[in-house]
Amino acid sequence: MKLLGSIAVLLPKLGLLQEWAYTGFFFVMAGAIFSHFAVGDVAMEYFGPTLLLVLIFLSWHFRPADRRVS
């Protein structure tokens, strides 16, 4: 599913589908962070999902205006 979401984010003119892909990525990474917290992992285990969550947010926030849902 992540591969399909990545394709949806990269292809232009798929505004609503891109929003759902970004939402899916957000929930997957937020769930990963919560899962690491729930099992008591060390702080280093949070780095990957947290970095990806930040990159997802930055990609969503700074996307071109023609790829935004109006």
* The pLDDT of residue 54: 95
The burial class, CB within 10 Å (0-12 / 13-18 / 19+), for 21 is buried
Number of structural domains (the chain) is 1
Residue 2 lies in a domain: no
Q: How confident is the model at residue 65 (pLDDT cuts 50, 70, 90)?
A: confident
pLDDT digits (tens, 9 = 90+) for 22-47: 999 999 999 999 999 999 999 899 99
Residue 30 lies in a domain: yes
Whole-angstrom Cα distance, residue 5 to residue 17?
A: 9
Q: Which residue range forms the structural domain that includes residue 18? A: 12-62
Residue 70 lies in a domain: no
* The pLDDT of residue 13: 83
Whole-angstrom Cα distance, residue 42 to residue 66?
A: 41
Residue 47 lies in a domain: yes
Residue 68 lies in a domain: no
Q: What's the mean pLDDT when you consider all of the chain? A: 90
Q: What is the pTM of this model?
A: 0.84
